[in-house]
Amino acid sequence: MMDPLDVAGLREALQEGRIQWRKHVLQRLAERGIRQQQVIGVVLTGECIRQYPEDAPFPSGLFLGWVESRPLHVVAAYDLAGHRAFIVTAYEPSLDYFEPDFKTRKKP
């Protein structure tokens, strides 16, 4: 049995500034016009709509939040032993791939 994502621990790490930003995600945020503070806000106040307990090296989750009336998805992981948050990616979900609730993936 894989451990689920510790959402409370993840949020606490974010609030305390224990965040690892990978170069890749920072490049993607810049390309997509998404600010780091917006990403943090989505994880702190948004809804965890899917968990990925099998993700390595740490379990992660997909969060949905709203920034200036736009939906934003953020994938974040939490290192329980190191008490650190990792931002994996963030993007504006497309209605091409998601239902209008932005939580449900469309069937292929």
pLDDT in tens, 53-105: 999 999 999 999 999 999 999 999 999 999 999 999 999 999 999 999 999 99
pLDDT-based confidence at residue 1 (cuts at 50, 70, 90): low
* Distance between CA atoms of residues 1 and 62, nearest Å: 20
Q: Residue 86: what residue type?
A: F
Helix (H, G, I), strand (E, B) or coil at 12: helix
For residue 18, tell me if it sits in a domain: yes
* 97 within some domain: no
Tell me if residue 71 falls in helix, strand or coil: strand
Q: Which helix (H) or strand (E) holds 62?
A: strand 60-67
Q: Span 26-37, mean pLDDT?
A: 96
In a domain, 2, yes or no: no
| Strand (E) or helix (H) holding 45 | helix 36-45
103: in domain: no
Domain enclosing residue 36, as ranges: 7-91
